[in-house]
Every structure is written in structure tokens, then in C-alpha cells.
A and B are shown apart, each in its own frame.
Chain A
Amino acid sequence: MKSVARIPNKELAIFFIVTVAIFCSLSPSFRTGENFENILVGFSHMGVLAVGQAFPILLGGIDLSVGSIVALAGMVGFDGFLIFGLPGAIVIPVMLATSVVAGIFNGVLITGARLQPFVATLATMAVYRGVTYAISGRQLFPELATRSIDDDLLLGLDNYVGHFPYAFFLLLIVAGLSQLLLAATRFGRDVYAVGGNREAARLAGIPIGRTTAICYAISGFCAGLAALILVSRMTTSQENLGIGIELSAIAAAIVGGASLQGGTGNAIGPVIGAFLLGVILIGLNLVGITTYAQPVLTGLILLGAVYYDRVLLGRRRLRLGKSQ
């Protein structure tokens, strides 16, 4: 029943729409075009990260280092633009290459050194963050900390078509290509096979090492894209950029139907998951819920989303099982 795993989660989409509808009915400010623009521009990077995170999770792994890769790629950009004064056409590819290399290194640790993904990426989370501090232009040249990046190509990313930010189109491309990769290529089938049953995949002759390395490279690449989006919005970067963002990305991917056991999920659900996080955060603030109650509520709503999704999925599986 691979096709079931491939179609975007209808249950989550319904939950998402109901949540949006509730906030729309509660807050006049929520139901404005500008607010939807804010949600799209504020959480597109989260969507990109969540799609990237789906790949390691589909393998039954996890990538805790994405927050640090965001900071590393961001700092490479900061140094390139502000210390060396290079143009975006050079700096942007270097930022993305850095993040891919960081992702491949994760994959090598996991397949080559046979480390648990949790342990390997926990270690590189610290390593990449450390490297970010070490190469930080903000520390080497403190006066740069108060200069903003003014590269045309980079800042061009922070533009809109109507209410839709470029970052959102980037997310659509990333999610679309990822879904195509997962659903229609041999690599995609390999990912589900390895995540579903690693031993069986090995016996079937699937190149587990290569598949794993590519998945973590994709996760790294997405972190690089997220860094681009963030840096273009902030016109600077920070050593502590993206701290804790990996947990939001993992939450978005799991809410989006990716199972931590591996083998189940797609690239569309995580996008809905990411925007659900955004809708909740902004909705709760616009409705006027106090700050202290918000984390509790966010947790409850996410639990509700996952429960709803899983219960319905479970029921459907039961039905399918009976009909066979």
C-alpha cells in the first residue's frame, strides 16, 4: 500500500483548515491578506526545513544538526558578503555547498562510522555550532555585527508576487521536487525500503550507504536554503541562528505524517505541519492568549493534530486490512 503513504494526508489538511477557520472567526486581524502574507513569509523556511527533515526520518533516522547547519551556512554568507565583499552569485552557491557538505558528513558518520543517527547528528550539532562561532565575522570584526548585508541577489529573495513571498515559491519547488523524487524515482523507492525494513533492503541489494548519505545531504541542502531565506529577511546572520529550530522542523515533519519508525510519510505533509505551527503561534497571539499559556496550548494542538491524523490513518488501515 505504498500509494497510501504517497498521497498528502487529507486528515491533517482538514485539521489545518479547521484550525485556520477557528482563528479566522476569533480574530478580525487574522483573516486579512496581510496576515496570510506574514504567515507565508514567516514560516516558509520552516517548511523547507521540515521537508528536508522528512528524508532522514523516512529512513528511520533523524537529523538534529539542521539548526546548526542553518547557522553555519548563514555565517559563511555573513563572512562572504561582509568580510570579503563578494557578490551573491558567488556567496550563495558557497553557502549551499557548505550545507550539503555538512549533510554528507552526517551521512558518512552514520553509514561509515556506524553511529546512531541521533548520536551522530547530536555530535555534529555541537561541532557545526562550534565552527560557526569560530568563523564568526561578528567576533573577528565586531563592527560588522551592526552592518547589514545589502547584496541585490540575496535581498531579491525577500520579495513578493502579490501576497506571495518568493520564499513560498521556493518552498513549493522544494516540496514538489522532493515528492517527485520520493514517489517516482528508484531512489525514492529505496528510501521507503530502507526505512521500512533495513535488513530486507540490504538483502534486496539496495545501496543503503549511498541512500543514507543522499538523504542527509538533502536535509543539509534544505538547511542551507532555509539559511538563505532567513539571511535575506534579516539582512544579517547570527551565531545562535536556528537554535532549537531542529525540534520545530522535526515536529512539523511528524505532524505532517512522517513516522519516526521510518518508511511512512511524504514531502507534502511536513509543509502543512510547518504552517500549522505558524498558524498556531500567530493565531494565539492575535486572539490574545497570554504568553505563558501559549507553549501549553501549542503542545495540546499538536497532540490533537497527530492523534487525529493517526487515529484516522489507523482506522483506514484496519478497513483496508479487512477488505483484503
Chain B
Amino acid sequence: MRTRTTDTYETSRREVMKSLALGALVAGSSGAALTGTLASSARAAEPAPIKMAFIQFQPHTVSSAWAKGIQDVLSIQPKFGFQLLDGQAKADIQISLMDTVINDGVNVIFVQPVDSVGIGPSIKKAARKGIPVITLNIDSTAKHAAHIEMNHYFGAMEIANAMGTMIGGKGKVAILNAPPGIIIRDQRTNGFVDGMKKYHPDVQIVADQVADWDRKKAQDVLSTILTAHPDLGGVYGVNDSMALGAMDVAKSKGIKLVIFGNDGEKDALEAIEAGDLAGTQYTDVFQQGRFAAAVATVLATGGVQASAFAEQGHLLMPYVIATKETVGTIQTYQRW
């Protein structure tokens, strides 16, 4: 496993270097003399017979782990080609990239939509061309082949349950939230709020503030919340980055806070082992990517049209609420 990771890293680094060299030529060229060189270096990369593309929301630890999981499956057979594209967190760019890969004749599209409705027309366009679309984490309102997501809502309920128990069933807690407008933000927040109501009705959620998914921003926001509520007992970061930001504040102020994140990235798991973070919802994101790739290979090699299914496929990923007691069950190779 270890060598394979290094290999992948090496390959991707070489890819970047190669691309940079190629691009420098494009940038610097002002005549036809270079075109020959360029064409030959492009020919070196033989197009694969079955092409798949993943249009991510924007580069992030989660989407790169998905991409790795997808490649784990696809790389076993040389007939699969894979390309990773950057949606730049912009709905219009993502739509444009969807159109591009459809035109490029890919056989399967993986997408983590920036907007559930906005991606709809592009998904319908893909469907007309018989290209199956598989969404990751963020669903689309347009019907497509399959949707594979983390268990945002129920996982967040479990987080509320665990946090409530750790702070003794009563007290004040705060939420460090993502900016509005994304479904998973609402699912992860609503799950937590509903979970507290259900399991620990005496716990009060005194603050719910936006910290932009960001560790640094979370530090500032939590410091402000602590000024207003010095007796705060717990903090829930809607993703791990924000929970780690809360952990930084607790450490530097020397206060004891029960902090939970959500996602389960490597840094968070290490912080749990060190006793700095109380817990997180862990999903094996590599596995999520592998599931998506497995669905994709079946659809593509069988020539199955997405429209052949009466219902859209839907897979909720299993999860572990990782705390000091359970974090040991997550193996090194499962950490992303």
C-alpha cells in the first residue's frame, strides 16, 4: 500500500511537471515551429478507450481522496482513462466543464455539484448522449445514474449524542458553520440540532456562526464566541478544518472544550489520538471513491444506459463516530 501511494504521488508529480513544460511551450510559442513538438508530446499520451472524468467542487482533501479511490479501481485495467477537473467552486465554470467533457466523448462523469439545480441542465444533456453521471456527496435534482454520499444527517445526530454525553448532558455549545447555500451544510447542521433535541434536550446551542470551512477563520470566530460565552462547554465544527481551528484556540487559551468535527481527515484523527479533539464523524472517503468507480465501470463496460433504471441509485456511506476509544479501529491505509 505504502509503495503504491508513493508511486501515485510520483506519477502525479511527473504529470504536473510534464504539463508545466507543455504549457510553458503553449505560453511561449508565437510561431508554427513549436506546433510539431507539441503535437508529438500530446501523441505520447494515448487516449484510453473508456474515458472517465471527475469534476470536483474545488480541490480539497475530500475530493482528492475520492479521486485516489476512483483511480485505485480504474488503474487495475489499462483500458480506463481518468481525468480530474476543477470546478473552481463556481456553478458556471462547472457547467462549462460538464459541456466540455460531454463534447470530449467521456463514457462516465463523476461530479460533486456546486449547485444541485444548476448542474441539472448539464446532467440532462449528458443523459441525452447516454453518458451516466454519478454524483458525490451533493445530489442533483435532475435524475442521473447514482448518488453516493456520506451520511451527513444521521452522522451529525450521533455527534450531538456523543458530545452531549461528554459534557454531562447539559451546558452550552456552539456551531462553527459553513456559508449557507449548500445542502450538506444544512444536513450536517440540522442533524446536530435535531440530535441535541432528541438525546440531550438540556444542552443549549448558544451560537451558530459562519467560519467558511476554514481553520484560521474558525480561530477568530470562536475567540469572539468565547468572549460572549466564557462558560462554553462544546464546539461542533461542520468540517474538520473548523474543528481543528477551535482546537487551536482551546490549546492557546488553556481551556477545556469538547470539540467535534465532521469528515474524518487524517489530521483530525491524529488530534483525537493526541487527546486534543474529542471526536469526528469518519467516512472512508477512499472507499467512497472506489464504490463510485465500481458503479462507473459496470455501467461503462456493460453499455448500460442510466435511463435503464427506474430509480436513481443511492448509496449512503457507512461511518464511524471516531473518539479516543474508537479511533484505533481506523487503519492507516484508510486514513486520508
Contacts and interface: CB of A to CB of B under 8 A. Distances in A.
A101 interface: no
B103 A22 contact: no
Interface stretch (B175-183, B231-239, B313-321): B175-183
Contacts of B28: 304
A166 interface: no
Contact of A29 (B84, B90, B105): B105
Given A133-B180, A234-B117, A282-B100, A245 B90 contact: yes
A288 B18 CA distance: 11
A161 interface: no
B104 A42 contact: no
B117 A236 contact: yes
B19 interface: yes
Contacts of A42: 92, 95-96, 99
A289 B115 contact: no
A281 interface: yes
B68 to A, nearest CB: 14
Contacts of B20: 293, 296-297
Interface stretch (A141-149, A169-177, A183-191): A141-149
Nearest to A132: B181
Contacts of B23: 284, 289, 293, 296-297, 300-301
Nearest to B34: A22
A240 interface: yes
A111 interface: no
A285 interface: yes
A259 interface: no
A238 interface: yes
Interface string A293-314: 1101100110110001000000
Which among B20, B26, B89 has the highest number of chain A CB atoms within 10 Å? B26
A16 interface: no
Per DSSP, chain A at the interface is helix
B334 interface: no
Given A26-B42, A142-B186, A281-B96, A239 B180 contact: yes
A261 interface: no
Interface in B112-158: 114-118, 120-121, 141
A3 to B, nearest CB: 27
Interface residues on B, range: 35 or more
Contacts of B121: 158, 233-235
B99 A41 contact: yes
A293 B19 contact: yes
A138 B117 CA distance: 12
Contacts of B117: 145-148, 234-236
Contacts of B24: 297, 300
B5 interface: no
A148 B120 contact: yes
Interface string A223-250: 0000000100111101111011100000
Contacts of A197: none
B30 interface: yes
Contacts of A291: 56, 59, 84-86
Contacts of A19: 26
A234 B91 contact: yes
A303 B246 CA distance: 40
Contacts, number: 153
B104 A286 contact: yes
B255 interface: no
A34 B103 contact: yes
Contact of B100 (A138, A286, A289, A293): A286
A297 B19 CA distance: 9
A282 B38 contact: no
B93 interface: yes
B107 to A, nearest CB: 14
Nearest to A139: B180
Contacts of A41: 99
A35 B100 contact: yes
A323 interface: no
B97 A285 contact: yes
Contact of A35 (B27, B38, B91, B103): B103
B16 A292 contact: yes
B8 interface: no
Nearest to A287: B42
B330 interface: no
Contacts of B35: 21-22, 25
A291 B23 CA distance: 12
A14 to B, nearest CB: 9
Nearest to B81: A288
B100 A290 contact: no
Contacts of B228: none
A281 B90 CA distance: 13
A67 B296 CA distance: 36
Q: 8 tightest CB-CB pairs across the interface, nearest first?
A: A42-B96, A297-B23, A234-B118, A236-B117, A293-B19, A300-B27, A38-B99, A29-B104
11 contacts: A29-B104, A38-B96, A38-B103, A147-B141, A233-B95, A236-B117, A278-B96, A289-B22, A291-B56, A291-B85, A304-B27
Interface of A: 18-19, 21-22, 25-27, 29, 32, 34-35, 38, 41-43, 45, 133, 136, 138-139, 142, 145-148, 158, 230, 233-236, 238-241, 243-245, 278, 281-282, 284-294, 296-297, 300-301, 303-304, 308
Given A290-B19, A301-B23, 14 more contacts: A22-B29, A29-B103, A136-B181, A145-B116, A230-B92, A245-B92, A281-B96, A292-B16, A293-B19, A294-B86, A296-B23, A300-B27, A301-B26, A301-B27
